[in-house]
């Protein structure tokens, strides 16, 4: 993932914060997708919060590193994986 | 000539205006009888114009949401049910079915689309109808497709109304439809208990246990419950759409306040534990029938759920199939 890449939340998902976690309810078009929800843990919820259409991948990474003791390489890997997951449910683009 | 037919489901009064009276179907109509009103209610919430048409108007609309028939499970209950359905359907092969399949295909359950500034609700396996409504629910029309120039209560209740109310309730911020069974415990101050669960979790079993072992208790439904919020309190309402158990429907159009909510599953012993807030959405959302395709409505649903979990005690409830659950539930 390019460090300069910027992500934006779509209008295809409804989010709710519960006890430091975030619940995502994706909109769906067929019965096979309905009733699925996704839970973001505290760190993923922070990433979700930071995705605002202006922060870059690098900005988000640096913010996480300032709040949690984590090395660049494993964080990049985790962040890539989370971004791909959020893209796959059309929550971000 | 116009016929006015009055129904009431979950406290929502409905007027269906038709050009002729509905045909009585003794095999299926008993389940709707309690939801028919004998006289005009003081207030009408929904007015629906019903027409009978010979064929579908064919659209190529922008589909918002559709359901399709599940594939057949090669073993067990699903196969038995499906075979029965297939047999029934084979007997009903006629021009009408051909028309429907020609337009909507054979796999469609139902679908909702947008045409211009209206919504179009169409039944596949869910019924022979096309219904149109605007976003303020001021003009609602249903075309029942019939070769015989007749309509039956099932045409309105089974297919159309069950689906329409999912949208109407959330759009008007009145409530949601829950895949659940519910009990009004009349001998115990009329308290209301909702037992939510996916297919096979034990909803009909729970209804049967209470029905058989607790005189005076009212089963509101064993499969679909309408959950409404009125003046900041939650209420559970009976519906005509039952599951495997239906004896209770002869006398049930009641409602109750919602005092306890259970997420049920089968277990060797009875055990209930409080649901942490962070687990509530995971457990409850899978039991809901809501407009999954509409952001504004899903926003309402999520707000409704947040309030529900704050105000009503919720439990995960593993239960054993015997009458001890009655006292267990009352004493929690």
Task: Give residue B76's pLDDT band: very low, low, confident or very high (50, 70, 90).
Answer: very low
pLDDT at residue A21, rounded to an integer = 94
- A25: contact with B, CB 8 A cutoff: yes
Could you give the CA distance from residue B45 to residue B51 in angstroms, rounded to a whole number? 20
- A31: contact with B, CB 8 A cutoff: yes
Q: What is the pTM assigned to this prediction?
A: 0.91
Nearest to B127 by CA among B106, B88, B164, B155: B155
Q: What is the mean pLDDT of chain B?
A: 89
Note the pLDDT tens digit of each residue in A8-55: 999 999 999 999 999 999 999 998 888 789 999 999 999 999 999 999
For range B88-96, the mean pLDDT: 60
- Nearest CB to B302: which of A14, A29, A30? A14
| Residues of chain B contacting A35 with CB distance shorter than 8 Å | 285-286, 288, 292
Note the pLDDT tens digit of each residue in B286-308: 999 999 999 999 999 999 999 99
Q: Is the pLDDT of residue B121 over 60?
A: yes
CB neighbourhood size of B7 (10 A): 21
Could you give the CA distance from residue A2 to residue A20 in angstroms, rounded to a whole number? 28
CA–centroid distance for B219 within its chain: 15
Could you give the CA distance from residue B80 to residue B78 in angstroms, rounded to a whole number? 5
CB neighbourhood size of B232 (10 A): 7
Determine the 3-state secondary structure of B227 from DSSP.
Answer: strand
Asked if A31 lies within 8 A of B68 by C-beta distance, the reply is: yes
Q: Is the pLDDT of residue B170 over 70?
A: yes
Chain A residue with minimal CA distance to B67?
A31
Asked if A25 lies within 8 A of B302 by C-beta distance, the reply is: yes
Could you give the CA distance from residue B224 to residue B243 in angstroms, rounded to a whole number? 8
- A89: contact with B, CB 8 A cutoff: no
- Nearest CB to A18: which of B278, B292, B298? B278
Indicate if the alpha-carbon torsion angle B110, B112, B113, B118 is positive or negative. positive
For residues B244 and A58, the model is more confident at A58
Helix (H) or strand (E) holding B314: strand B314-319
Integer distance in angstroms from the first to the last C-alpha of chain A? 13
For range B156-168, the mean pLDDT: 92
- Nearest CB to B281: which of A18, A29, A32? A18
Cβ within 8 Å of residue B2, ≥6 positions away: B17, B18, B19
Chain B residue with minimal CA distance to A21?
B278
Task: Give residue B259's pLDDT band: very low, low, confident or very high (50, 70, 90).
Answer: very high
Note the pLDDT tens digit of each residue in B209-247: 999 999 999 999 989 999 999 999 999 999 998 888 777
> From chain B, which residues contact A within 8 Å (Cβ)?
63-68, 109, 276-278, 280-282, 285-286, 288, 292-295, 298-299, 301-302, 306
Indicate if the alpha-carbon torsion angle B242, B246, B251, B252 is positive or negative. negative
Cβ within 8 Å of residue B3, ≥6 positions away: B17, B18, B19, B20, B21
Highest mean pLDDT among B41-45, B98-102, B150-154: B41-45
pLDDT at residue A31, rounded to an integer = 86
pLDDT at residue B79, rounded to an integer = 42
Asked if B281 lies within 8 A of A23 by C-beta distance, the reply is: yes
Say how many CB pairs under 8 Å bridge A and B: 58
Task: Give residue B139's pLDDT band: very low, low, confident or very high (50, 70, 90).
Answer: very high
Instruction: Express the helix, strand and coil content of chain B in percent, nearest 5 each.
Output: 30, 35, 35
Least trusted range by pLDDT, from A16-25, B189-198, B239-248, B262-271: B239-248
């Amino acid at each position: 993932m390019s460090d300069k890449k910027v992500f934006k939340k779509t209008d295809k998902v409804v989010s709710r914060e519960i006890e430091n976690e975030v619940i995502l309810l994706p909109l769906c078009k067929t019965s096979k997708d309905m009733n699925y929800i996704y839970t973001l843990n505290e760190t993923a919820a922070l990433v979700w919060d930071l995705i605002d259409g202006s922060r870059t991948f690098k900005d988000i990474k640096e913010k996480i590193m300032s709040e949690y003791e984590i090395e660049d390489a494993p964080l990049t890997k985790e962040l890539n994986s989370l971004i791909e997951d959020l893209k796959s449910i059309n929550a971000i683009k | 000539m116009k016929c006015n037919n009055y129904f009431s489901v979950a406290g929502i009064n409905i007027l269906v205006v038709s050009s002729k009276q509905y045909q009585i179907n003794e095999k299926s109509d008993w389940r709707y009888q309690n939801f028919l009103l004998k006289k005009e209610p003081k207030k009408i919430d929904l007015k629906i114009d019903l027409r009978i048409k010979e064929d579908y108007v064919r659209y190529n609309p922008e589909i918002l949401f559709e359901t399709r028939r599940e594939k057949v499970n090669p073993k067990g209950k699903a196969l038995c049910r499906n075979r029965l359905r297939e047999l029934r359907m084979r007997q009903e092969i006629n021009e009408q079915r051909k028309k429907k399949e020609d337009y909507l295909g054979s796999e469609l359950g139902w679908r909702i689309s947008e045409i211009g500034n209206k919504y179009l609700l169409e039944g596949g396996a869910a019924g022979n109808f096309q219904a149109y409504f605007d976003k303020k629910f001021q003009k609602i029309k249903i075309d029942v497709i019939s070769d015989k120039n007749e309509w039956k209560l099932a045409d309105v209740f089974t297919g159309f109304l069950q689906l329409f109310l999912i949208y109407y309730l959330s759009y008007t911020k009145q409530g949601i439809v829950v895949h659940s069974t519910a009990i009004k415990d009349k001998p115990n101050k009329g308290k209301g208990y909702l037992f939510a669960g996916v297919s096979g979790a034990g909803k009909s079993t729970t209804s049967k246990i209470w029905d058989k072992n607790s005189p005076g208790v009212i089963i509101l439904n064993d499969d679909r419950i309408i959950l409404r919020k009125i003046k900041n309190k939650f209420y559970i309402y009976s519906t005509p759409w039952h599951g495997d158990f239906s004896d209770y429907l002869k006398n049930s159009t009641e409602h109750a306040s919602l005092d306890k909510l259970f997420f049920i599953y089968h277990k060797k012993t009875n055990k209930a534990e409080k649901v942490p807030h962070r687990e509530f959405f995971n457990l409850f959302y899978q039991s809901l029938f809501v407009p999954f395709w509409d952001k504004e409505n899903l926003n309402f649903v999520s707000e409704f759920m947040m309030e529900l979990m704050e105000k009503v005690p919720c439990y995960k409830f593993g239960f054993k199939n015997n009458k001890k659950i009655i006292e267990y539930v009352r004493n929690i």
